[in-house]
Amino acid sequence: MDAASIARSLASFAAVYAAICGVACAAHRSRLYPAPPREEPPRGDGIEWVRGRDATGETFALCAFAAGTDARTIVHFHGNGEQVAWQARFAREAQRAGIGYCAVEYPGYGVLSQRATTERAIYDAAESVLQQLAARGIAGDRLTLSGQSLGTGVATEMARRGHGSRLILLSPYTSIVEVAQRIVRVLPASWIVRDRFDTRSKAASITMPVLIVHGTLDTLIPVEMGRQLARTFPNARMVELAQRGHNDLFAESERPVWPMMLEFARGRATVR
């Protein structure tokens, strides 16, 4: 093959590769935000709908508030294949334990399925709900921010903005770009992924107590990402769950996650 033929082949390959990157870039949000079919959140038994607005649309949270002016409240940000309708069990259990619980819905999910989902839109919705809680007198020093999987980036951003006094991260990633690069190794994730959720770059500035829980068998977000974050947050405790993967953290085990979260939210579980 002569030089001209080689050049033409390389040019063809580059054009195909660029086209693949373009398609991946256009489709990355549909892959990143696979919202399940919409379900209406349950009512009654202490469950309350908290509705508001941000700059571009309606916001929503499923809440169960605890009695008492000094009660602690967990504000939770769910994973990318979930919706707040599935959080009612945790909300009721937290309320029975004397702790409030609010699960923030993302634009594009659940009852907000009509809105577009982006990193910015999720942050705006989260900020709106936190402002509503503040207006109800639920002060930031009584808030524990909690996130699972995708939601860990949201919880971290809200902590960076000064919300809350404690932070729980379940199966956290260093950044969505780094997760994507592990999955699609031959494509430049840093060019393709626009919603970056760069947790590691924010961690060093967040000085509140942080509890990180990660399964050692997690194949989607490897436990090493949790370890890296534990080394970067100034005041973090890392709990590794043997024989747990990405979607079974709340399975029964010798170290059950939910009681651990409640104790941490109460301020009784210190970082060691």
Q: Full-prediction pTM beyond 0.75?
A: yes
Q: What angle do CA 197, 199, 204 make, to 5 degrees?
A: 150
Domain chopping of the chain, boundaries: 3-266
156-169 burial, b for 16+ CB within 10 Å, e for fewer? bbbbeeebbbbbbb
Average pLDDT over residues 5-16: 38
Average pLDDT over residues 164-183: 89
pLDDT of amino acid 185: 53
pLDDT greater than 80 at residue 5: no
pLDDT tens, residue by residue, 180-238: 777 665 454 555 667 879 999 999 999 999 999 999 999 999 999 999 999 999 999 99
Ramachandran category for residue 171: left, alpha or beta (phi over 0 → left; psi -120 to 50 → alpha): left
Average pLDDT over residues 81-94: 94
pLDDT of amino acid 8: 42
CA distance 173 to 162: 21
pLDDT tens, residue by residue, 174-188: 998 888 777 665 454
CATH number of 3-266: 3.40.50.1820
Q: Average per-residue pLDDT in the chain?
A: 85
